[in-house]
Structure formats: C-alpha cells, structure tokens
Amino acid sequence: MTDFLLELRSEEIPARMQVKAKEDLARLFNDALAKAGLAAASVETFATPRRLALIATGLPLATDAVSEETKGPKVGAPPQAMEGFLRKAGLTQDQLIERDGVYFAVVEKAGRQTADVLAEAIPAIIRAFPWPKSQRWGAGSASTESLRWVRPLQGIVAILGDDVVPCEIEGIISGTATMGHRFHHSGPVTIGNAGDYAEKLRDAHVLVHFSERCALIRDGAKAAAAAAGLTLVADEGLVVENAGLTEWPVPMLGRFELAFLEVPQEVIQLTARVNQKYFVCHDSAGKLANAFVCTANIDAHDGGAAIVAGNEKVLAARLSDAKFFWEQDLKVALDDQATKLAQITFHEKLGSVADKVERVAKLARWLVEEGIVGSCSPAQAGAQPANNDSSDKVLDPGLRRGTQELADQAERAARLCKADLVTGMVGEFPELQGLMGGYYARAQGEADAVADAVRDHYKPVGQGDDVPTAPVTVAVSLADKLDTLAQFFAAGMPPTGSKDPFALRRAAIGFLSLLLQNDLRCSLKDMLLATGAATTFDSLEEFLVDRLKVQQREAGVRHDLIDAVFSLGGEDDLVRLLARVNALQAYITTAEGANLLAAYKRAANILKAADGVDAAAPAPADLVAEERALLTALDTAAPNAAAAVDAEDFEGAMAALASLRAPIDAFFDGVMVNDEDPAKRAFRLGLLARFRDAVHRVADFSRIEG
C-alpha cells in the first residue's frame, strides 16, 4: 500500500470555480481508479488560486490479475456461430474450455502497475476536466486542438510513494517540483511524497487546505475588527471567496471617511462586498462603522500599511461615486423621475415602463377595492366570498374609508415603484432597485406604507425570500407580477423548456407565495381579467397550477392531488384549492382513504367497460340489502359532500366520503354488478355512477396515483 500526490499548477483559478473543481478532481480520479479495478483508502483534495491537488492514501502497488470468462456457443452449434465467437475472442477452438455442453473463452489479464495506471489516467483527467470556462494559450494555441485548462497549466507534480509517476501533456512533464507563494518564495519547492506536501508548501507560504484559509480569514477578520473596538458583520460567502483569492491570507482593517456614512448603508455594504470583497463592521451601537476588513495575500514588510492605503483609496473612489449619485438623486422628485419611464421600452411588444406602471397602479387599486388585499382579509373576517359585487354595502363606513386610503396608497406606491430605475444610483448599482426607491420616497415625505411598498415590491424574489405582508406592499407586488405574467402570456411569450428570458417562473412563484402566505381569496380568472391583457388565459392558469405543484412539493403536497382537485374545474381560488388538497391528502393517506380510492378505481373500471350508464336508472322492486344500504348512504353523502365543499368545510367533505366506504365495500362483496337481468344491471351501474359522481364533488379520484 502506498500514497499518491497529484498537483496541477496553473495561473490563477477564479475563486468561484475552486470548490467545484475539487469535487470534480476527486470524482474523475476515483472513476479512473475504479475502471482499472483500483480503490484508494481515502482521497483528499486541495485548491488554492494557483493549484488543484489531490492526495490518495492506501493504494495497492499493482492491480490484481483477473481472469475473464465469456460464454460462447453450445457444443454442436453451427460453425458460423463458432467462427464469429473465435474471431471476437481472438482465440482458436482448442483454447476454449467446455463445460456442461457450452464453450467458454477464458482470458487471463495480468495485473498492472498502479504507476502505469496513473500515468495514463493523469493526462486523461486533465483533458476531460469540466471547467465552466477554459482557454488555450501559448505556442500550442496555433492549433484549436490544443490543450484547454481554466488558465494556462504550468506544472504537474505526480508522486506515487517516493517516485515520480512519469507522464506528459503538451510539453508539460510531471516531476517533483512545484512553486511556493508568488511573492514570499522564489524558486521551486521540491516535494518528497504525499506526506510532506502540505508542510513543504506551508514553509513556502502556501496554505493548501481550503478550510484552514477559511478559518484564518473568518477569525482574523473578526480579530481585526475587535482590535478597533468594532464588530465584524459575518459573511461566510466572503470568507470562501477570499480563501479562493489567497494562498497566505492576512485580514486587515481599513477606514473610510465618516462623511460617506450619509449614504444608505446597503449601498456601502454592496460596494464593499461585491466590488471589493471587503467585510463591513458595526460600531458598539450596532450601526455601520466607517471601517472595512480586506484580505491581503501577503505578510507585508510595513505591516500592510501600503496595502490598506491602496484599498482605502479604491473604496473611497467608489463611495464618492455613490455619494455623488445619492446627492444628485435626492434633488429630483420621484414623480419627475417617473415621467422618464415613458422613454424606456419595457418590451417592444408591451410598451414602455410607464405603460406598465399605469397598468400596475390600476391593478393594485383594484386589488384593494375588491377587498382581495386589505388590512383585514375577507378570509379572516369570516370567509366572505371574494367576488361580492355588493361588498361595499356590507362594509361599515369606517372600514370603507380605510379601504379608500389603502387603495390610494397602493396606487401611489405603484406609480413611484419603478421611478428609481432612472436614478443615478440604480444605474450604477442595479441590485439596489427598489431599495433606493424606498429611500428616495421616504426622503420626499411619502407615507411609510408607500415607501415600504416601493422598497419591497420586487419581493419575494424566488422561493425562500421574505414574503411581504403589509397590505400596500402586497397589493403593488402582486399587481406587478400579475401584470408581467398576463402581458407576456397574452403576447405569446411564455417560458419554453429551459428558456425563461423574462423570469416568468420566478414571477409566478412570487405571485403564488403572496397569495398563499397572505391568504388572499379571489378567483384567478377574475384577477387575470382585471389585468386587461387580451387573452383567454387557459395556458397561464395551467402554468400557474404547474408552478403551484413545484412550489408545494417542498411542503410535501402531492402534485397528483392538486391535479385531482383542479381538474374538476371551477376551483380557481388557489387558497381554497390548496385547503381542499390538504384535506384530501390527510384523508387519502389513511387506510380508510386508501380503501375508498380502491373502491373508486374498481367502480371506474366497471363503468368504463359498460356500454351506457344511466345514473337515474330506476330501482327494481326487489333491492338486496347492500343495494339499499348504498342507495341510502349516497342520498346523504352526495349532498353532504357538496354542502361541506360550499361551506369550505373540507374535513366535513372527507367525512361525507368516508361514510360511503363501508356501503361500497359491502356492495362489491355482496352484489354482482353485471347481472343477467338488464334492469338490475342498469340500476347497479347507475348506483356506481352516482358513487363516482359523489366522490367527484370532492376530487377527481381518477387523477390520484397509487
């Protein structure tokens, strides 16, 4: 048994690719071993900006000899069959073994030296490596067939035990020499074996363990902040990114001018984090401090003073841009900014952004005035039907005034919500859309509810994001997504396959989350009609129900049950739909529910095979007990189930179905449906049809799997 070290050294590998590259290297290596019949006791991988490495332990020195046996033709088989088999096996007939009247070809394969296996595997792994982006370089690039790597490959260290595994790829020859830190160490570092790799490189100022660099940055940044009396704002994404940028990380604290703190803190944080990879700090009061922590890749002679000064200069330049935009933007009212949206095309088929804003404003107002969105939702107020045209009459005057104010605020927020797109700040930092609008709205004295809605109306961005609950925000956010979905579908541009250029799937998930989380009760059709988009919406409704299935999968809701309820038609209040599905799922997963489903399927099969079924077929004079019992049960259960569904008592509806279980089982046990007497048969088929119809009051059980 022995150990193996492989190091692939290159120019700087982008930080974001290193973690995946480690996994890919381990996978390709293990596959290559497995193909040769080898396995390592352990495989550990390493990544720094300049190297991707792997150490495998417990490798055998050679593979075992194997004998492979292939079954051939029977004794006495036609000569053509024998000739074909011998040709394929490369043997003559006297080399075959006969056993139980069948010929077998046995090929003895000698064991191979592990070093030879590796020497073949290394170039193959390099050529097959799945970098997300790769390049060609140097003299070799005169041919497009030349080697590709993420950055120019510079050296290969391959050592099995204490010996080099000799291999070569495009003029790069494997050996024992690597390079240390770019500035701390000059000249090659000679590696003896897998055991001294990490230590030799540590001596050359390279920490090959990714996790060690992460820990140094995590703890060092915290300590640098603490030394200045500040608290680091922890950010694991930045820890990993900086670990991918350094071989010898040294976190240090820098400062920026206090005056920059006038800029909203999200702007400072974004600039520091995204553009500069800096951590930010809080002061003892928990507010953003005028300090940052950057990670150098060197132990500098001056303790890092020049590095800190350079980083301070870069950040100051960025922050002074941000401060300039902030001050300029504050001079222009959002209403004036909003007029510029008329010049921006939202989509060439869908008019300008100002057109969109106008539609969203109307829709947001409609959502409030219809009572779909409100401070007190109809569901909470005692399940008022959402589509009540006379709802104004039943509201008391105070509540109506509240609704009007809410509607005004929703419309106002909608008119301002896209205005920040033309501000200097959002032009420079598009990620800040919404957030900046919220700041500018508050600065010009808009109501908090309006400013909050401007700020949060893009939310939720995908699954897992916070879902707004403030009524004004919900109205604007819902209207924005609804408009986007309806307009793009109406213009014939739904997502197809993997192509979703207008992020309609994300809009749909956001729309559904808003509805479900806020318990918003409305017919989907009515909402889509209110968008004013010219289409029938069938495909959009299907799309939304499909998205609902995807979204609910995580919550464990079965997609077939959603289908079973939706396919009945008429249920397009998604909140109620989901409540029905949940009740159905609770019932169908009990033993009793499973029995009822089995009975339903049996009935459905008999009905399918029957020639004509009349649910109203008259009862013959001599009913048997089981028929009478089922008839009685249906007379109660069918109206009960329907009434319970209407009252949104879905447990009650399930209970009504459950009352059919015993009679239908007894019916199947005691009665022959396809009786010789046509009158009896017609009546019994009719009973089954009535049973099926009763079940369909709750859900189309034929859609249920299992």
Partner 1 sequence: MGGFDCKPVSGELTYGLERLAMYIQNKDSIFDLAYNNATADRPAITYGDVFRENERQMSTYHFEVADTDMLFDAFKKATAECENCLERSLPIPAYEQAIKASHIFNILQARGVISVQERASYMGRVRDLAKGSCQAWMEKNGWTA
What is the binding site for partner 1 (CB under 8 A)? 135-137, 139, 141-144, 310, 313, 316-317, 340, 343-348, 353, 421-422, 427, 430, 501-502
- We find the least distance from the C-beta atom of residue 145 to partner 1, in angstroms, to be 9
Task: Find the angle CA(349)-CA(350)-CA(352) to the nearest 5 degrees.
Answer: 115
Name the residue nearer to partner 1 (CB basis): 346 or 429: 346
Q: Name the DSSP class of 651.
A: H
Question: Do 217 and 251 touch, CB atoms closer than 8 A?
Answer: yes
Measured CA angle at 38 (ends 37, 43), to 5 deg: 145
Beta bridge partners of 189: 178
Which DSSP helix (H) or strand (E) runs through 69?
strand 66-74
Nearer to partner 1, 159 or 426 (CB): 426
Show Cβ contacts of residue 259 under 8 Å, excluding neighbours closer than 6 positions: 323
Instruction: Tell the smallest beta-carbon distance from residue 231 to partner 1 (Å).
Output: 30
Comparing CB distances to partner 1, the nearer of 236 and 348 is: 348
Closer residue to partner 1, CB minimum distance, 347 or 681: 347
CB of 136 to partner 1, least distance (A): 6
Query: Residue 192, SS3?
Result: coil
- Please identify which residue in the block is written with the tokens 């930010």: 280
Q: In the complex with partner 1, which residue's Cβ is closer, 95 or 135?
A: 135
Task: Give the distance from CA 101 to its chain's centroid.
Answer: 58
Q: How far is CA 471 from CA 113, 379, 386, 514, 515, in A?
A: 72, 14, 16, 11, 12
Structure tokens that stand for 487 in this block: 């307009």
**Burial class for 338, CB neighbours closer than 10 Å (0-12, 13-18, 19+):** buried
The secondary structure of 274-327, three-state, reads HHCCCEEEECCCCCEEEEEEEEECCCCCCCCHHHHHHHHHHHHHHHHHHHHHHH
- The CA distance from 670 to 673, in Å, is 10
Let me know: does 157 contact 5? Beta carbons within 8 Å. Answer: yes
Q: How many other C-beta atoms lie within 10 A of the C-beta of residue 491?
A: 15
Tell me how far, at minimum, the Cβ of 477 lies from partner 1, in Å. Answer: 17
Q: Provide the minimum distance between the beta carbon of 340 and partner 1 in the complex, in angstroms, as a whole number.
A: 7
- Give the distance from CA 472 to its chain's centroid: 28
Shortest Å distance, C-beta 247 to partner 1: 24
CA dihedral (118, 120, 123, 126) positive or negative: negative
Q: Smallest distance, Å, CB 422 to partner 1?
A: 5
Please, which residue, 188 or 310, has the CB nearer to partner 1?
310
Q: Is the Cβ of residue 131 or residue 137 nearer to partner 1 in the bound state?
A: 137
Instruction: Return the number of the residue (82 or 354) whose C-beta is nearest partner 1.
Output: 354
**Minimal distance, residue 140 CB to partner 1, in Å:** 9
CB atoms within 10 A of CB 643: 14
Nearer to partner 1, 350 or 578 (CB): 350
Phi, psi of 356 (to 5 degrees): -65, -45
Asked whether the beta carbons of 395 and 408 are under 8 A apart, the reply is no
Integer Cα distance of 494 and 215 in angstroms: 46
CB of 312 to partner 1, least distance (A): 11
Taking the complex as a whole, the smallest distance from the CB of residue 325 to partner 1 amounts, in Å, to 12
CB closer to partner 1, 359 vs 549 = 359
Least spacing, CB of residue 20 vs partner 1, in Å: 24
Tell me how long the chain is.
Answer: 706
Q: How far is the CB of 523 from partner 1 (least distance, A)?
A: 29
Instruction: Closer to partner 1 by CB, 300 or 579: give it.
Output: 300
DSSP 273: I
Strand partners, 35: none
CB-wise, 285 or 317, nearer to partner 1?
317
Q: How far is the CB of 352 from partner 1 (least distance, A)?
A: 8
Closer CB to partner 1, 113 or 343, in the complex: 343
